[in-house]
Structure 1
Amino acid sequence: MCFSPEADLVAGVVVTAIGIDALRHVPRRELVPLASLPLVFGVHQLVETFVWWHLRGDVPDCVGKPAAWIYVVMAMCLVPVLVPFAFARIGAIRSRLLATGLVACGIVSAVLLTIGLVRDSIRPEIDGHHIAYHVTTPWQVFTLGLYILAACGPALLANAAPLRLFGATNLLVVALLIWLAQSAVVSLWCVWAAVSSVLINLYVRRRARVSPEAPGTGEPHRSGTRGSP
């Protein structure tokens, strides 16, 4: 995250609250993975707060080192699988074959990145106004290409405007970060994804307004609102 652990903490608290709100408004079970994304991103930023504190000497190794591992595993192994699965689960991508392919891209990239994490240690360090996470990436161009496809592709191909905007902004930011400083991608892109995930919350709340079922109950919605999402 940019600036400081305090900024990470504030962003994490705000986005976590947005994530909880999104889950509260889920009208059907298939939306749960998508609605959970803001919560995952929010918790992710809260975890990085402890990485900052450890690198500054404010918390012990027994806290800071696990936090760094959790942060990197969430970013590199959870996100590329959860994002395409969430979009495929709600049928947001018109082609089922394409949706399956994006999930496969996420799984392959997560496996390759996991192999890199197991083979080598995570070496986080403060680099100016962000944390640089030095990790080994097997077949770097191939693996990162699959990661970007899995993390940004589903939203770009979605049939809802807020989700397409979420995908477009994340793709632009990750491309810019790769051009500026590859070591900054893990930390800086993840916080942008967290902030932009407010668009997912707006989408879920809209689905809740037009859904024939009340959020989380399976009972008919009683507002009388009709229409497709």
Structure 2
Amino acid sequence: MCFSATASFGSGTLLLAIGTVTLRMARCPAERPYAAIPLLFAIQQLVEGVVWLSFGGPAWLNFVATQVYSFFSHVLWPVYVPLAAWLLEPRGPRRRGLLAFVVMGLAVGAYLLYSLVVNPIQARPMAGHVDYQSPHFYIVASMTLYLLSTTVSLLLSSHVWVKVFGALTLAASFTAYVFYAHWFISVWCFFAALLSGAVALHFIALRSIPQQRIPS
């Protein structure tokens, strides 16, 4: 979490449990990437706990933990989320539409990866939060593509609880920006991590309809 190492490790541990359950609930290979979202958020939160512990410690530990966390926040999610939603979707116009979001995610993910390599992100504690200094150009364009790929893509899904997850994370992004703009990266990732519990609701709903199958 963005408030303390204890909170980061606590939320990460909780999400490890949720992620383990959702992975076990996946019934075919196409469902596993979406089912793994809480588990990936767990790893990200645990890494942020290390970022907290690295303040005042070895510079190399702070650098490594910050870059690993930033890979999750900047590169992984815009690529992974629309791809996971695309894999869940049955053949049809929605699945074809999701391909556009996959392309958007790949584009912004590649750009942000390049930015991380050229200008590595620095992290420092500030006012009870982690401040990730993320300098790069085209911030409006990249942020728009990022939001489209990580949240709006889920709204295109034909699965109700996937849409709910997308709507919640989109709302959380606006909340984080309004109230925590300076620490937006850390705070929004924390909100999204907690909201990833909604992933389990998708699989609970699927289990109530045994005959429904997602193509692999």
TM-score (norm 2): 0.91
2:136 alignment partner, SS class: coil
1:81 aligned to 2:79? yes
Give CA-to-partner distance per residue, 1:191-227, whole Å, 9 cap, x none: 111111111012123324534xxxxxxxxxxxxxx45
Aligned-residue offset at 1:179: 3.0
CA distance in 2, matches of 1:196, 1:187: 14
2:33 alignment partner, SS class: helix
Counterparts of residues 50-69 of structure 1 (less than 5 Å): 50-55=50-55, 57=56, 59-69=57-67
Q: In structure 2, give the amino acid aligned to 1:200.
A: V
CA distance in 1, matches of 2:114, 2:175: 27
2:36 alignment partner, SS class: helix
* Identity between Structure 1 and Structure 2 (%): 27
Aligned-residue offset at 1:66: 0.8
Counterparts of residues 138-177 of structure 1 (less than 5 Å): 138-177=137-176
User: Which moves more between the two structures, 122-131 or 202-211?
Assistant: 202-211
Counterparts of residues 120-135 of structure 1 (less than 5 Å): 120-135=119-134
Aligned-residue offset at 1:114: 1.3
Q: In structure 1, give the amino acid aligned to 2:41.
A: F
Aligned-residue offset at 1:166: 1.0
Residue 29 of structure 2 aligns with which residue? 29
Q: In structure 2, give the amino acid aligned to 1:125.
A: R
CA distance in 2, matches of 1:107, 1:119: 18
Q: Classify 1:183/1:115 alpha carbon distance in 2 versus 1 (closer, same or farther; 3 Å).
A: farther
Residue 3 of structure 2 aligns with which residue? 3
Q: Classify 1:106/1:192 alpha carbon distance in 2 versus 1 (closer, same or farther; 3 Å).
A: same
Aligned-residue offset at 1:121: 2.4
1:187 aligned to 2:165? no
CA distance in 1, matches of 2:94, 2:212: 23
2:22 alignment partner, SS class: helix
Larger helix percent = 2
Which consecutive unaligned segments of at least 5 residues does structure 2 have?
none
Give CA-to-partner distance per residue, 1:136-163, whole Å, 9 cap, x none: 2221100010000000012222222222
Give CA-to-partner distance per residue, 1:24-81, whole Å, 9 cap, x none: 11111100110011100111000000000111x2x43333321110000111000100
Contact preservation (8 Å) 1:27, 1:208: no
Q: Which structure has the greater CA radius of gyration?
A: 1
Q: In structure 2, give the amino acid aligned to 1:91.
A: E
2:131 alignment partner, SS class: strand
1:210 alignment partner, SS class: coil
- Tell me the matched-pair count: 213
Contact preservation (8 Å) 2:63, 2:122: no
Aligned-residue offset at 1:5: 0.8
Contact preservation (8 Å) 1:94, 1:159: no
1:96 alignment partner, SS class: helix
Residue 112 of structure 2 aligns with which residue? 113
Residue 200 of structure 1 aligns with which residue? 199
Aligned-residue offset at 1:118: 1.5
2:3 alignment partner, SS class: coil
Which consecutive unaligned segments of at least 5 residues does structure 1 have?
212-225
2:26 alignment partner, SS class: coil
CA distance in 2, matches of 1:228, 1:118: 41
Contact preservation (8 Å) 1:134, 1:183: no
Contact preservation (8 Å) 2:165, 2:198: yes
1:136 aligned to 2:135? yes
Give CA-to-partner distance per residue, 1:102-134, whole Å, 9 cap, x none: 011111111111121122121111121221110
Residue 19 of structure 2 aligns with which residue? 19
